[in-house]
């Protein structure tokens, strides 16, 4: 028997944890710190392990995942989960609208549409009996799906128990499980660190995560659920879609943030354009909008044909995937010597942009996809991501396609290439390879690096060909070669003097940019900033052992190895010394440990502030002991938002991190003076 006081405490803890989960995951307005939350959670775990009888199926501790399964059982949906007919152009939508109006003619009542986003994830159904989540399943073929209850229970935006004044005896809630794009990147980085397969896109990651036999794995994935339709319901009823969505929201579900109703089809068309324009900036993938007749009586009159309702239509965006002919494969050499096979394509338009090249990533991908020259291939382009070959349309093969083999020699410098065990990439081993040099310099000079304007690819190639630069440090010797350089094409006095100024200015770059600019393998802008703040100087960074490096959050063994390898390479030390001798400053950062009123607080800066430059704002924060990092996480304390903020603002809102505008930031500085 569980003592009464323990029983009460467990119930109270469950109530509190549910409440804070809701505030955190659904409302994005947490009230307590992560540490306080963890304390509640650990206390409940402790009680449950002492008294296993306490564990209820809706206890928040059950979100951590159950024992692995062999396979999923099937679940028959009580009413089919329908498909949607699709349109791709305004005229087709107008046809749909006309048909709907004809079928409803004489029935009276206004026709109203509700527009939802068409989420690109995995459709699922959740069955709640007397408020308790009893079954969760995939859509499957629409009639029968897979029972993935244990996995769905790990999704934080899915309530395990519904609370509210009048919970129906039975309610089936349908919707889509997705992974946010920003989270997807983080997940794939983790997969790389763990030597696991990376996911092609967020949809695959969501579907793959949900169909794990081990729900502990599902629990570790950042999944979200958006509710968008209702199946069976007993003990309550609704008269239209909008009302249902409002009810879902009141139950604590996430629903489409862009849900909107319209009576005029022209307005729907305008809204389609608006959403299409937002597509790339949303943090989740959508592939269109769904237009639904709002009124349930009208829906019933309209009925369905085959497996699709006549009362709804998906208006899809132009595909981000199209097919074309792969005319050739050429190999590019990157900054670290990696050889990347690139598909040269018969030009095609993908989502409004003409594409003639697409990445084939590496030899393994090439083999796995069995790509041959002359193949018809499916290519994909999403936002500003590099287009890639998704798959070969093998049914279009004629037999005349040619197999492609990765070259044994670097296509640029003819040096041997090697493939390091455990890596998918072939590399050119010649550190003086011109292609690598050009890429390294372009990286060094880039905005996130030393920010040296006036060094385009063509110029760098030319300088390398004339043997005026052999490494990044040589850039600072350019002024000495003025006469020679001015004789070259595409140069001029004005350009040269601007370049000199840009070089001079770059000698003062902050430590994080310098670290990024060096091009240490696997170190992007985020890690460069983490490293700068943690180690404070290049000299200190050089001294660190592998063990010391991996102690830092965000640095895994692969990154640690890259850092060690970089500083073990004598050539790199020579280059660093040469840079110093040309006057590049190796700045020291004030380590975040410094005592101050904002000690241990982490900040993100996004957008433009009026009264501070980025580095001034950073200095002010660091002076008070705070840290500025570059990627938003649950651990971020404040996000400072200026004008035209980036996706960090959106993400901060999602995570419920306090957001300050410039005035709020100033106040915080004054308060903490």
Please list the active-site residues: 118
Which tokens go with 144?
Answer: 């029968």
Residues 177 and 148 sit within 8 Å (Cβ to Cβ): no
Output the CA torsion 651→655→657→661 (10° steps). Answer: 30
Q: Is 123 a binder of ligand IVH (CB under 6 A)?
A: yes
**Nearest CA among 116, 123, 121 for reference residue 289:** 116
Distance between CA 213 and CA 137 in Å, rounded? 13
Q: Give the x-and-dash track for 277-296 against ligand IVH (CB under 6 A).
A: -------------x------
- Strand order through the sheet with 170-179: 132-138, 122-129, 170-179, 223-234, 254-255
**Nearest CA among 658, 578, 650, 649 for reference residue 608:** 649
- Beta strands 74-76; 144-146: pairing state: antiparallel
Residues 507 and 476 sit within 8 Å (Cβ to Cβ): yes
- Using CB under 6 A, which of the segments 116-124, 590-598, 612-620, 647-655 binds ligand IVH? 116-124
* Cβ at position 84, least distance to ligand IVH in Å: 4
> Computed from CA positions of residues 567, 569, 572, 576, in that sequence, does the dihedral angle turn out positive or negative?
positive
* Cβ closest to ligand IVH, residue 79 vs residue 551: 79
Q: Is 629 a binder of ligand IVH (CB under 6 A)?
A: no
Distance between CA 606 and CA 639 in Å, rounded? 7
* Cβ at position 258, least distance to ligand IVH in Å: 10
- Using CB under 6 A, which of the segments 112-120, 376-384, 419-427, 478-486 binds ligand IVH? 112-120
Residues 447 and 347 sit within 8 Å (Cβ to Cβ): no
* Cβ at position 69, least distance to ligand IVH in Å: 23
Q: Is 176 a binder of ligand IVH (CB under 6 A)?
A: yes
If binding means CB under 6 A, how many residues of this protein chain bind ligand IVH? Answer: 16
Question: What residues form DSSP beta bridges with 627?
Answer: 602
Output the CA torsion 652→655→658→663 (10° steps). Answer: 20
**Nearest CA among 540, 517, 514, 512 for reference residue 527:** 512
Q: Which of 13, 47, 54, 84 binds ligand IVH (CB under 6 A)?
A: 84
CA angle 227–276–291, rounded 5-degree value:
45
Residues 467-506 that bind ligand IVH (CB under 6 A): none
* Cβ closest to ligand IVH, residue 118 vs residue 254: 118
* Cβ closest to ligand IVH, residue 285 vs residue 388: 285
Distance between CA 552 and CA 592 in Å, rounded? 13
* Cβ at position 143, least distance to ligand IVH in Å: 13
Q: Is 139 a binder of ligand IVH (CB under 6 A)?
A: yes
Q: Is 378 a binder of ligand IVH (CB under 6 A)?
A: no
* Cβ closest to ligand IVH, residue 19 vs residue 317: 317
Distance between CA 203 and CA 649 in Å, rounded? 23
Characterize 588-610 residue by residue with b for buried, 16 or more Cβ atoms within 10 angstroms of its Cβ, and e for exposed. ebebbeeebebeebbbbbbbebe
* Cβ closest to ligand IVH, residue 41 vs residue 113: 113
Q: Give the x-and-dash track for 36-65 against ligand IVH (CB under 6 A).
A: ------------------------------
* Cβ closest to ligand IVH, residue 290 vs residue 437: 290
Distance between CA 260 and CA 567 in Å, rounded? 57
Q: 3-state class of 553 per DSSP?
A: coil
* Cβ closest to ligand IVH, residue 139 vs residue 624: 139
Distance between CA 90 and CA 271 in Å, rounded? 12
* Cβ at position 140, least distance to ligand IVH in Å: 10
Residues 582 and 500 sit within 8 Å (Cβ to Cβ): no
Q: For residue 285, count other CB atoms closer than 10 A to its CB.
A: 24
- Using CB under 6 A, which of the segments 81-89, 125-133, 381-389, 505-513 binds ligand IVH? 81-89
Distance between CA 535 and CA 531 in Å, rounded? 6
Q: Is 229 a binder of ligand IVH (CB under 6 A)?
A: yes
* Cβ at position 316, least distance to ligand IVH in Å: 10
- Using CB under 6 A, which of the segments 88-96, 115-123, 378-386, 514-522 binds ligand IVH? 115-123
- Using CB under 6 A, which of the segments 114-122, 150-158, 274-282, 610-618 binds ligand IVH? 114-122
* Cβ at position 202, least distance to ligand IVH in Å: 14
Which tokens go with 607?
Answer: 């957008």
- Using CB under 6 A, which of the segments 79-87, 186-194, 328-336, 585-593 binds ligand IVH? 79-87
Q: For residue 614, count other CB atoms closer than 10 A to its CB.
A: 14
Q: Which of 6, 82, 192, 660 binds ligand IVH (CB under 6 A)?
A: 82
Q: Which of 131, 208, 222, 309 binds ligand IVH (CB under 6 A)?
A: 309
* Cβ closest to ligand IVH, residue 118 vs residue 434: 118
* Cβ at position 315, least distance to ligand IVH in Å: 12
Residues 553-612 that bind ligand IVH (CB under 6 A): none
Per DSSP, helices labelled H in 446-537 are 457-465, 482-486, 493-506, 511-517, 525-535
Output the CA torsion 257→124→651→518 (10° steps). Answer: -140
- Using CB under 6 A, which of the segments 76-84, 230-238, 623-631, 660-668 binds ligand IVH? 76-84
Distance between CA 530 and CA 553 in Å, rounded? 9
* Cβ closest to ligand IVH, residue 295 vs residue 512: 295
- Using CB under 6 A, which of the segments 22-30, 306-314, 421-429, 614-622 binds ligand IVH? 306-314
Q: Is 100 a binder of ligand IVH (CB under 6 A)?
A: no
Q: Which of 18, 48, 97, 116 binds ligand IVH (CB under 6 A)?
A: 116
Q: At what angle do helices 570-581 and 557-568 cross, to 10 degrees?
A: 70
Q: Is 440 a binder of ligand IVH (CB under 6 A)?
A: no
Q: Which of 113, 228, 404, 638 binds ligand IVH (CB under 6 A)?
A: 228
* Cβ at position 358, least distance to ligand IVH in Å: 27
* Cβ closest to ligand IVH, residue 184 vs residue 535: 184
Contact set with ligand IVH (CB under 6 A): 82-84, 116-119, 123, 139, 176, 228-229, 290, 309, 312, 314
């Amino acid at each position: 028997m569980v003592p009464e006081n323990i029983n009460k405490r467990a119930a109270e803890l469950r109530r509190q944890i549910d409440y804070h989960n809701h505030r955190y995951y659904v409302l994005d307005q947490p009230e307590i710190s992560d540490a306080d939350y963890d304390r509640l959670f650990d206390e409940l775990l402790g009680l449950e392990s002492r008294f296993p009888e306490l564990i209820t199926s809706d206890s928040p501790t059950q979100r951590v995942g159950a024992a692995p399964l062999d396979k999923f059982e099937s679940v028959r949906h009580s009413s089919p989960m329908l498909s949607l007919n699709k349109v791709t152009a305004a005229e087709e939508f107008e046809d749909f609208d006309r048909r709907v109006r004809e079928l409803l003619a004489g029935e009276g009542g206004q026709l109203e549409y509700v527009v939802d986003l068409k989420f690109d994830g995995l459709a699922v159904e959740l069955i709640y009996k007397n408020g308790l989540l009893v079954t969760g399943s995939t859509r499957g073929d629409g009639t029968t799906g897979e029972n993935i209850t244990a996995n769905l229970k790990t999704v934080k935006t899915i309530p395990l128990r519904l609370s509210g004044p009048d919970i129906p005896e039975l309610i089936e809630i349908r919707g889509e499980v997705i992974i946010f794009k920003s989270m997807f990147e983080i997940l794939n980085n983790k997969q790389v660190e763990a030597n696991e397969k990376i996911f092609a896109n967020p949809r695959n990651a969501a579907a793959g995560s949900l169909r794990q036999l081990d729900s502990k794995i599902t629990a570790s994935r950042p999944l979200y659920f958006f509710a968008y339709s209702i199946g069976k319901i007993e003990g309550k009823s609704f008269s239209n879609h909008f009302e249902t969505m409002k009810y879902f929201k009141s139950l604590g579900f996430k629903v489409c943030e862009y849900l909107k109703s319209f009576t005029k089809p022209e307005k729907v068309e305008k809204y389609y354009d608006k959403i299409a324009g937002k597509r790339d900036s949303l943090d989740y993938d959508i592939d269109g909008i769904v237009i639904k007749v709002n009124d349930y009586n009208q829906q019933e009159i309209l009925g369905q044909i085959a497996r699709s309702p006549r009362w709804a239509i998906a208006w899809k965006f132009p595909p981000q995937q199209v097919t074309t002919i792969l005319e050739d494969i050429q190999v590019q050499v990157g900054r670290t010597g990696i050889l990347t096979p690139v598909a040269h394509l018969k030009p095609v338009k993908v989502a409004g942009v003409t594409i003639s090249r697409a990445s084939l990533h590496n030899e393994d991908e090439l083999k796995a996809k069995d790509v041959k020259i002359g193949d018809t291939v499916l290519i994909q382009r999403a936002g500003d991501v590099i287009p890639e070959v998704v798959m070969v349309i093998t049914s279009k093969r004629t037999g005349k396609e040619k197999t492609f083999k990765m070259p044994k020699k670097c296509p640029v410098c003819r040096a041997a290439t090697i493939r390091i065990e455990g890596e998918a990439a072939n590399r050119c081993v010649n550190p003086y390879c011109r292609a690598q040099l050009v890429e390294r310099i372009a990286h060094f000079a880039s905005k996130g690096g030393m920010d040296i304007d006036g060094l385009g690819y063509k110029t760098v190639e030319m300088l390398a060909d004339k043997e005026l630069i052999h490494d990044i440090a040589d850039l600072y010797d350019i002024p000495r070669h003025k006469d020679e350089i001015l004789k070259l094409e595409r140069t001029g006095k004005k350009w040269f003097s601007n370049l000199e100024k840009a070089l001079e200015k770059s000698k003062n770059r902050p430590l994080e940019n310098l670290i990024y600019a060096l091009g240490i393998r696997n170190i992007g802008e985020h890690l460069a900033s983490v490293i700068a703040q943690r180690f404070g100087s290049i000299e200190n960074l050089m001294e660190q052992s592998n063990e010391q490096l991996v102690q830092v959050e965000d640095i895994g063994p692969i990154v640690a190895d890259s850092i060690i390898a970089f500083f073990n390479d004598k050539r790199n030390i020579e280059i660093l010394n040469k840079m110093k001798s040309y006057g590049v400053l190796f700045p020291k950062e004030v380590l975040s440990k410094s005592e101050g009123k904002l000690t241990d607080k982490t900040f993100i800066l996004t957008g433009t502030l009026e009264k501070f430059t980025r580095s001034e704002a950073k200095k002010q924060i660091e002076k008070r002991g705070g840290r500025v990092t570059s990627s938003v996480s649950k651990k971020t304390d404040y996000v400072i938002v200026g004008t035209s903020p980036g996706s960090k603002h959106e993400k901060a809102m999602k995570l419920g991190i306090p957001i300050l505008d410039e005035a709020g930031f100033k106040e915080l500085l004054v308060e903490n003076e």
